[in-house]
Structure 1
Amino acid sequence: MFKKVLIANRGEIAVRIIRACREAGILTVAVYSDIDKEALHTQLADEAVCIGPAKSQDSYLNTTNIISACVLTGADAIHPGFGFLSENAKFAKMCKECNIKFIGPDYTSIELMGNKAEARKLMKEAGVPVVPGFEGTIYNEDHGIRIAKDIGYPVMIKASAGGGGKGIRVAFNEKEFRVGFNTAKAEAKACFGDDTLYIEKFVQRPRHIEFQILADSYGNVIHLGERECSLQRKNQKVLEEAPSTFLTEKLRREMGEIAKKAAKACHYENAGTIEFLVDKDCNYYFMEMNTRIQVEHPITEMITGIDIVREQLKIASGETLLIKQKDIVLKGHAIECRINAEDPTKEFMPCPGKITELHVPGGMGIRIDSAIYCGYKIPHCYDSMIAKLISFGKDRNEAIIKMKRALGEFAIGGVKTNIDYQYSILETEEFLKGEYDTSFLGEMKVKNNA
């Protein structure tokens, strides 16, 4: 096992990784930008190193400074968390060349699955169902229009190097395609430095269901069941639950085996997620693979009893995956609400600022992953998510009751949050029945008191 791990991230995921390392007897190094000097992860780690100014590109995306901090502190591994450098193949390769273990897959797998067009092609060859589309290079707007006509509208224009809901546009006709193609191309260039696009059929009103997988370096691959991630706003997940109310046990087993096949096709190692779109007739299609830990991993931990971050550490240190597929038994139900510093009544505008009061919920079946504290100043330059509230119950109804109770107790003063908005989701008839899809939140009206 590693002696010291550097966490190349911030916020709640950095805190989560520090906790897992401490329980495993591993020393930790936090890195931080100027504006994050008083952040919780810098206080919980054994060491903390400043890696640059507030802007992400000068600090949390500054590969040279992060590698230097690793060498300076004598850390023998780097955990990238999610976002920032977690799916950066060049950074993973840099770590390997510097004899630093990257806690994640090999850079070749990141590179392969990071290019969505190439990933589609590989999955198709491996017998994994994919959404009908075009795998080749799209040369220009007119070329794209010809492809869209062949596929048939509506189509989805997507960034090949995309992620996090960026670089995606839907077009129902040629006029919308021309606008969407150019805006997606510009957004992809700005977000990923790569404006390559691909086109696929737009599956209307699907469910977004993903499978968590673990794979070691000896060819052992298992899945830990699925997460329902259909509650999204502008392609950004808001609330997740596990297991999905939509899948039958038969479909769960079938999709789980397909997820394992997808992981084996790219010789995957460590924790990863296979994301599917599932239509109303239970046809499922591979969408993409996230080659990192997911924001929503806690709900899988709650229903399986498996510490996914701990497993990441063990796999990365060369241990064999001791958990077999037959050992995975899904028990109970878990829900995660992403708590953001934003104003739902003003188009979810981010609301950075100082937290003047804080009361966090507790009790049986409640977990909070967060890095906030009373007096903490939420920076303006990073993602607005400030906490993840997770509930667990013996069944879905109990998990909902516990979540509503916990949201009612959660008090954050000084900034606007989406706590009331999350509560309003739990009260909708569609959610209570489990009858919703990816379009639901876009059609749901925000209550005036949210």
Structure 2
Amino acid sequence: MRISEESMPVLSVSALNSTAREIIEGNFPLLRVEGEISNFSAPGSGHWYFSLKDSRAQVRCAMFRQRNLYSRVQPRNGLQIQVLAQPTLYEGRGEFQLIIEQLQESGEGDLQARFLALKEKLAAEGLFEAHLKRPLPTWPQRVAVITSATGAALHDIRATLARRWPLLSVLVYPVLVQGDQAAGQIVEALGRANARSTEDVLILARGGGSTEDLWCFNEEMVARAIRASRIPVVTGIGHEIDFTIADFASDLRAATPTAAAEAVSPDRNEWLPKVQAQHYQLEKLMLRKMQDESQRLDFLQIRLRHPGEGLDAAQRRLQLARENLTRAMALQLSSQAQQLAYLQERRARQDPGQRLQILEKQLRQSQKNLGTVMLNILQRADLRQQQSTSALRLLDPLAVLQRGFAVIRDTSGRVIFESQSTHPGEQLVATLARGRIHCEVTRSDPENP
């Protein structure tokens, strides 16, 4: 059945191109394409536009700014590259094109595989372990730079070190930083720097470039030479996005040569105020020390006397010693005389007649003292007897009765203490101070009136 021309839909050009774009993008995934760059342009928008061609065909390509910003390869006409791209159709002109996601030089895929294999091998050996990293000196005095003598990296490093810490001494080991002989020269420079052992830290640096340009820093011999170095090694290779095997082996990886110079040098703008403050404190301490020493010198000058004054003082001390000796001898003689008198008195006391007189005198005194003591004892005993008699009189029941009280008993002789223990008609006996009264209970009240 044939479709008549009248029944066929009519498409606009934009609808046709949109449908074609959807068909192309829907049927083609991301593709890896290789070719040579031609007609490269980079307008102010930041996007890259070029053609990718081989010997028989070409295709238009676009790499937008947000993608090419991180590219390590700078496109140029005639450069052989590989791209990871999405085929599509530019609807505005109806042109088939590739939207580039990644771009690398041809052969870079093999280099990346070699890079990853060597990195994995050295990491398995522990060559990149953090505990192997040597600490950088806080106050380095000498820095060695291993880089190209004509490259911009050396100029940036010198300028940064001069700006941050002009006191640093910089020694340059010029080497090739690209090509087949570069790795050997870098290893040799590391060996010579360690043989000298005069530098405090080493900087291994070069500017940016493609993977092939930087490949000498991915050589195994360079990584092992860095780890064998006794001097700490800081790498500043390429740009921020560039990582090499040397970066993993180094003691510190800096993003750029300038950053490497900043990493090894103190900042004078930070330390100058601190040094000035310490200088001020040192001046104060020195001034105070000079004042103390000046006062001490004055004191020593005061103490320093003429030798004649010393002799006079010695003579005065000698005279004083003589006087002290004379007094001491006089005191000693007086003490000896007192001792002699004591011994004579003691000898006299030990004479039998004298001893008897002393004992008789002591006996008479003892008899006198005994009489006094006996009299005192009798007087105290008489006083205690009088006190006891007075106390007994106070405790005598008859004395209470003499004050008008009476002792009430029943016929059995039991003492009555309360009215409730009696009953009317009961016979009671009241003992008075003189005599008794026989009475009869007529009434008893439980409470006092």
Whether TM-score is above 0.5 comes out as: no
Higher strand share goes to which structure? 1
Pick 1 or 2: higher relative contact order, CA cutoff 8 A, min separation 6: 1
More helix, by proportion = 2
| Structure of greater Rg | 2
Q: Give the alignment's TM-score, normalised by structure 2.
A: 0.21
